[in-house]
Homo-oligomer: A and B are copies of this chain.
Amino acid sequence: MGKKLTARKEDYSKWYNELVVNADLAENSAVRGCMVIKPYGYAIWEKMQAELDRMFKESGHQNAYFPLFVPKSLFEAEEKNAEGFAKECAVVTHYRLKTDPNDNSKLIVDPEAKLEEELIVRPTSEAIIWNTYKGWIQSYRDLPILINQWANVVRWEMRTRLFLRTAEFLWQEGHTAHATKAEAIGEAELMNNIYAEFVENFMAIPVIKGTKSENERFAGAVETYCIEALMQDGKALQAGTSHFLGQNFAKAFDVKFASKEGNLEHVWATSWGVSTRLVGALIMTHSDDNGLVLPPSLAPIQVVIVPIYKGDDQLAQISEVANDIASKLRAAGVSVKYDDRDTQKPGWKFAQYELQGVPVRLAIGPKDLEKGNVELARRDTLTKEVVSQEDVVGIVTGLMTTIQENLFSRAKNYRDEHISKVDSFDEFKEVLKTKGGFLSAHWDGTSETEKAIKDRTKATIRLIPIEGEKEAGQCVFSGKPSQQRVLFAKAY
């Protein structure tokens, strides 16, 4: 707690960083680009994990765990994937330290403990996993393999930002193996749909589903499916991706199976992942100048009760009411914190829980006690009302749904207002500059055009929409024919 956050209008990026740190979500560490996820931030991630894990298991997936390290020879086996990640990977070269002969209090890398083959800290696990699957797959009876892993990965990014882009981050990565191309494509689409459902229903963040252009595709994928969300500053954020990998990894690692017909065929693959980056999307979708705003589904504390009192007698009376409300709410499945600490004043507590995005705050003072009332404040609307102690449990329980829905529809209205059809490159540049958001434009399908537009505007193709009508037209840049509009935006 302490001073107010920088206003979003003033400096959105500064506001974001201050919010993450002041709301106790995360902070930078002594390791360049790596963050510490603090308990409050981690509790939000745990809620996301639990829900995703449930959805994965219900759709037939199992968890497993593969090594942190990838031997260089495996890392380079799938050419495009290796090329895509080589520029940003942490490399283990030694396995021992020894006392510095020049200074007994220091340690140095022991030159005699050099590894024969360098180990790459996984930036993603396709290589190590497909090398393992090779031993698991002989026949069609061994397929499909539907595995997910919760893990840390490392990508040596040069410019990092808490949650959005960190050298180490936490994620889940699914890796599946299938007998047919159609089944693998079905899996990649299914997981993209599951991500969309999770992000929309659980995180209250509206997304658009699509596929990536070749430039933006995952290194080693044949097709990348994605969901994209729009942040408050008009920039897009990729909220999840699901890749159809074709037979690329099966060929690189020589993974074949005997089909029902007795033929030896290469296996078809997918991979899919979401990461702690989603916490950044959560912040930049719902929060305001007062701090974090959390949808009830993700709030570690859904309701906080603060007593306003003078003296122990008054506190005892208020506590009786507060504890009664708390236990009724808990019985209704609502998580409640009763904060009766005497080390902090009510005003400090109000500001703190506002900063931390607790959806509902109840305050009980002497007058409320007299009249049988409670003051109820909603974090999403910043509104207050006085309700009777009798009604409060029913009202708060109902608010859990109301707030969740309100946050989603507010974000969806904003997003929908920021999808602009543009039909000339001048218009493209003008709208991007003045309004931001998604630009729905025709594109000739070439990487050259996409790069030319990116060089001139910093906007990239976020996705080629899967849903909606597909009208033909002319590329906004080259004038060449186009089969459908795609969505451009500046992106995180």
Asked if A42 and B29 sit within 8 Å, CB to CB, the answer is: no
Q: Is A92 an interface residue (CB 8 A)?
A: yes
- Which residues in B have their C-beta under 8 angstroms from that of A79? 105
Chain A window 90-114, contacts with chain B (Cβ cutoff 8 Å), 1 for yes, 0 for no: 1111111111000001110100000
| A119 CA / B30 CA spacing, docked (Å) | 11
- Which residues in B have their C-beta under 8 angstroms from that of A45? 65
Interface size bracket, A side: 35 or more
Q: Is A120 an interface residue (CB 8 A)?
A: yes
If A128-B30, A152-B152 touch, whether A107 touches B65 (CB-CB below 8 Å) is no
| A45 CA / B147 CA spacing, docked (Å) | 16
Name the contact of A36 in the complex, choosing from B43, B64, B86 (C-beta under 8 A).
B64
Name the contact of A72 in the complex, choosing from B42, B68, B107, B154 (C-beta under 8 A).
B107
Each complex incorporates copies of this chain amounting to 2
If A36-B64, A131-B30, A168-B69 touch, whether A109 touches B91 (CB-CB below 8 Å) is yes
- Which residues in B have their C-beta under 8 angstroms from that of A95? 88-91, 156
Q: Is A121 an interface residue (CB 8 A)?
A: yes
- A-side residues, CB < 8 A to B, are 27, 29-31, 34-39, 42-43, 45-46, 62-72, 74-76, 79, 82, 86-99, 105-107, 109, 118-121, 128, 131-132, 135, 141, 147, 151-152, 154, 156, 168, 170, 343
- Which residues in B have their C-beta under 8 angstroms from that of A154? 68
Min CB distance A406 to B, Å, is 29
Asked if A91 and B97 sit within 8 Å, CB to CB, the answer is: yes
If A31-B119, A39-B147, A95-B91 touch, whether A68 touches B132 (CB-CB below 8 Å) is no
User: Which of A91, A131, A152: most chain B CB closer than 10 A?
Assistant: A91
- Which residues in B have their C-beta under 8 angstroms from that of A66? 29, 36
Asked if B67 and A29 sit within 8 Å, CB to CB, the answer is: yes
Asked if B65 and A42 sit within 8 Å, CB to CB, the answer is: yes
Asked if A34 and B67 sit within 8 Å, CB to CB, the answer is: yes
If A43-B62, A62-B43, A119-B90 touch, whether A70 touches B156 (CB-CB below 8 Å) is no
| A67 CA / B128 CA spacing, docked (Å) | 22
| A35 CA / B128 CA spacing, docked (Å) | 11
Lowest 5 CB-CB distances: which A-B pairs, in order? A34-B67, A39-B62, A37-B65, A95-B156, A86-B97
Min CB distance A355 to B, Å, is 17
13 additional A-B residue pairs with CB within 8 Å, beyond A36-B64, A88-B95: A31-B70, A34-B67, A35-B67, A39-B64, A68-B121, A68-B154, A69-B168, A76-B105, A86-B96, A86-B98, A87-B96, A89-B95, A91-B109
Min CB distance A42 to B, Å, is 5
| A92 CA / B194 CA spacing, docked (Å) | 36
- A-B pairs with beta carbons under 8 Å apart, 30 shown: A27-B135, A29-B66, A29-B67, A30-B67, A30-B74, A30-B131, A30-B132, A31-B71, A31-B128, A36-B65, A36-B66, A39-B63, A68-B168, A72-B97, A75-B97, A76-B105, A76-B107, A82-B97, A86-B97, A87-B96, A88-B95, A89-B97, A90-B92, A90-B119, A91-B94, A92-B92, A93-B94, A96-B156, A97-B120, A141-B343
If A96-B87, A97-B89, A119-B90 touch, whether A38 touches B64 (CB-CB below 8 Å) is yes
